[in-house]
Amino acid sequence: MGKVVLNIVSQDKDQCYLQALAKSPSYSAVTSFNCLSKNLVEFGKAIKGFPGTLGEKEEFSIGAGMGRAEFSFQTVASTGLCECWVRIKGLHEEAGQSAEAFFPIDYLEPAAIEHFSRELIKMGTGHTKIAELKNQFEKDKT
């Protein structure tokens, strides 16, 4: 099980303030950060049609500085499924340490990545406020 949810908290013409939530059975993390709207569109286009070939890998980061979300998509052997490693970094340091979580979201079908891609592009162009990537076990959950 696992999912990633990006939600626009506020947005102007060129920039948005995002909340990023990532969770798996063992871990969950949430942070908020500023992001250029065009970066959401670029991210959506970068993962559109993923995976194209066996062994393909795609990495992308949104946000800047201390607050950001990093994604690494890769295929899983010859299963036809993918996994996404997510690194969520917090805006603030507490007790001299940076808040960070890093874990996989497994069992992603290409159709789920394609849907996430379309939602990211819609977010970046101001047509939706949320993009969600869920693995095959999260489909019936809200």
Give the CA dihedral 98, 34, 4, 122, nearest 10 degrees.
-170
Instruction: Look at domain 3-134 and name its CATH class.
Output: mainly beta
Domain spans, the chain: 3-134
In the predicted structure, residue 97 carries a pLDDT above the cut 60: no
Split at pLDDT 50, 70, 90, the class of 4 is very high
- In terms of Cβ atoms closer than 10 Å to its own Cβ (0-12, 13-18, 19+), residue 9 is exposed
- Region 107-128 average pLDDT: 95
Split at pLDDT 50, 70, 90, the class of 93 is low
Query: Looking at residue 95, what is its pLDDT?
Result: 54
Query: Looking at residue 142, what is its pLDDT?
Result: 46
Answering whether pTM is above 0.75, one says yes
**Cβ contact 72:84 at 8 Å:** yes
- Region 102-120 average pLDDT: 93
- Region 87-91 average pLDDT: 81
Q: How far apart are CA 142 and CA 124, in angstroms?
A: 23
Pull the structure tokens for residue 142.
């809200």
- Evaluated on CA atoms 36, 38, 39, 40, the torsion sign reads positive
27-45 pLDDT, tens per residue? Answer: 788 888 999 999 999 999 9
- Evaluated on CA atoms 106, 111, 115, 117, the torsion sign reads positive
